[in-house]
């Protein structure tokens, strides 16, 4: 039986920290599974001077101020974050949350962000290669007492990472990517969850990529059913507040394309009453409609 999860992306752009904390604690008490937010140094659209808090600091705060909900950064850019820092920071956050972190990773994008911060922006191929090597380094640091590695981008020489994460064998990885030749193969090999990328609610494209992911999983002897598929869902305009049946129909269309983790964006000021109504009315109706 397919397991479905539901998450809220709390958009950081324009949000003050008290708003975020209030939203996270409210969502923690709802019939929802995940909280997520992006990893960017600045807003990626609109007013670049709007508030946009830093991802690792927020992950620690979210871990401390909630008790139940799981959470995933969507996604940490391996083009901007060093894999050795990611491994140690994520292990710490996993301890703060008592094992509720799901680590989201991606090759990175938004060249204007790199330009403004004076950061290199390699080719897509190099960024994907760095993503895969970053994953290998992170998993080594999480699993080996002392890690050794010599690669194209990173080197480890008898390197510890203590304490290890709470979750065993390690926090689940969410990997974003859409490239059909390389990125999706990385997803099939390493990810617990695929975060759809560059599909923008295109149901036929989602279905096609999910079929390809199934093939890649089978090639390496993995059961495709063990790979969760997550997508940012663009809902009918009024389904937060007054159209639960339309919400169920929209979710079913995504589910038929292979999606089983639905992420809905909420912008500040966060509509907590509407989100609670979605969790109370739409989610149970959807689960009933698909027999879960």
User: What's the pLDDT score for residue 176?
Assistant: 97
CA distances from 203 to 42, 190, 208, 270 (A): 30, 24, 9, 27
Distance CA 161, CA 144 (A): 8
Counting every residue written for the chain, the total comes to 292
Please state, as a whole number, how many other Cβ atoms lie within 10 Å of the Cβ of residue 26.
17
Q: What is the CATH number of the domain that holds 56?
A: 3.20.20.30
pLDDT tens digits, one per residue of 9-29: 999 999 999 999 999 999 999
pLDDT tens digits, one per residue of 156-209: 999 999 999 999 999 999 999 999 999 999 999 999 999 998 787 789 999 999
Q: Which residues of 122-156 are buried (b: 16+ CB within 10 A; e: fewer)?
A: eeeeebbbbbbbbbebbbbbbebeebebeeebbeb
Structural domain total, the chain = 1
pTM: 0.97
Q: Are 241 and 277 in contact (CB under 8 A)?
A: yes
**Domain with 13 in it:** 5-289
Distance CA 50, CA 46 (A): 8
The larger pLDDT score, comparing residue 238 to residue 290, is at 290
């Amino acid at each position: 039986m397919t397991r479905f999860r539901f998450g809220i992306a709390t958009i950081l752009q324009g949000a003050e920290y008290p708003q975020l904390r209030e939203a996270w604690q409210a969502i923690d008490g709802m019939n929802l599974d995940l909280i997520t937010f992006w990893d960017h140094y600045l807003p990626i659209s609109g007013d670049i001077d709007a508030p946009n808090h830093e991802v690792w600091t927020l992950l620690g705060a979210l871990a401390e101020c909630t008790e139940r909900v799981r959470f995933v950064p969507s996604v940490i850019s391996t083009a901007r974050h060093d894999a050795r820092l990611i491994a140690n920071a994520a292990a710490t956050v996993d301890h703060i949350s008592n094992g509720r972190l799901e680590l989201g990773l991606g090759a990175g994008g938004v060249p204007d962000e790199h330009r403004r911060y004076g950061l290199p922006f390699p080719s897509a191929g190099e960024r994907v290669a760095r993503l895969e090597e970053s994953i290998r380094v992170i998993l080594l640091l999480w699993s080996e007492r002392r890690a050794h590695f010599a690669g194209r981008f990173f080197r480890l020489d008898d390197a510890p990472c203590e304490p290890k994460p709470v979750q065993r064998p390690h926090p689940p990885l969410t990997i974003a990517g859409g490239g059909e030749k390389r990125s999706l193969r990385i997803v099939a090999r390493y990810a617990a969850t695929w975060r759809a990328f560059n599909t923008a609610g295109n149901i036929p494209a989602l279905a096609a990529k999910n079929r390809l992911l199934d093939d890649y999983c089978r090639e390496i002897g993995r059961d495709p059913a063990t790979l969760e598929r997550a997508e940012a869902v663009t809902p009918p305009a009024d389904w937060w507040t007054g159209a639960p049946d339309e919400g169920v129909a929209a979710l079913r269309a995504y589910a038929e394309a292979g999606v089983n983790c639905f992420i809905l964006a909420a912008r500040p000021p966060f509509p907590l009453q509407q989100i609670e109504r979605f969790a109370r009315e739409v989610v149970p109706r959807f689960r009933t409609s698909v027999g879960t």
